[in-house]
Amino acid sequence: MGSGVMENNQALKDRVILVTGAGRGLGRAAALACAARGATVILLGRTTAKLEKVYDEIVAAGSPMPAIFPMDLDKAGDRDFETLAQTIGYQLRRLDGIVHCAAEFESPSPLGQQSAEAWQQLYKVNVIAPFAINKACLQLLAAAPDASVVLVGESHGHAPAAYWGGFAVSKAALEAYFRIQAAEWADAANLRLNLVIPGPIRSPQRAKSHPGEDKTRLPTPEQLADDLAKLMDSGERGRLIEWRPGG
């Protein structure tokens, strides 16, 4: 997809981009990457203090002033997602893209040790929230000249394996949602949807699943985030992208 080298061009100037899970990890990196390209970024996450730190980083870098929208995706319902869309429309007047980085993760374990409650939480954050946010924001996206939505999948959702349980199932469901939504948007010239499967990166999630691993050998969230930001202005649509640095 790209070199993984952070660029400070203005390809996203005047665009408004919503980034979920923006408080840390890949979401933080994606927010910084989009802002560096001139976008006004809406930082959505569960913890206000973390979002405020990212806000300060964006402002300190001289990028457009972002917005903060705290939301616990595990607890959100239709009315909350509608409020999100209404707030964006009222305060920012437009929405040109969404980068769905928020993810709920459970460390690998046998299915017999997993709970229905954990599966419900995984589904709410990993599948229902992206669907519901896209649905609530569809009117704003459809009004944009070029609306780009990026979903972040996971290799064990694409090719399920033992012990990855509810997390893999939820990410497999996200991939199914991607195919359905991309097909429904296929005839809309200004609505683009892509799914990126990162592979191993140096993320908080990876630290949980592979605690003894040498993290210095892994690509950074910033490398992936740079390519996610490029997708916002790439013209790509309906693609499932198995990401590798420099690919």
Domains with residue ranges and CATH for the chain: 16-115+122-242 (3.40.50.720)
Instruction: Evaluate whether 71 touches 84 at the Cβ level (below 8 Å).
Output: yes
pLDDT in tens, 137-190: 999 999 999 999 999 999 888 888 999 899 999 999 999 999 999 999 999 999
SS3 of residue 240 by DSSP: strand
Q: How crowded is residue 43: how many other Cβ atoms within 10 Å of its Cβ?
A: 27
Quickly list DSSP for 136-156. HTHHHHHHSSSEEEEEE--HH
Strand 40-45 to strand 16-20: parallel, antiparallel, or no bridges (unpaired)? parallel
- Phi, then psi, of 240 in degrees rounded to 5: -100, 115
Q: What percent of the chain has pLDDT over 70?
A: 88
Is the pLDDT assigned to residue 89 strictly greater than 70? yes
Instruction: Evaluate whether 2 touches 219 at the Cβ level (below 8 Å).
Output: no
Strand 97-100 to strand 147-152: parallel, antiparallel, or no bridges (unpaired)? parallel
Q: What confidence tier does 4 reach under pLDDT thresholds 50, 70, 90?
A: very low
pLDDT in tens, 66-84: 999 999 999 999 999 999 9
More reliable by pLDDT, 213 or 164: 164
What span, in angstroms and rounded, lies between the C-alpha atoms of 163 and 165? 5
Say what the pTM is. 0.91
Q: Enumerate the β-bridge partners of residue 70.
A: 45
DSSP state of 207: H
- CA-wise closest residue to 227 among 216, 243, 238: 243
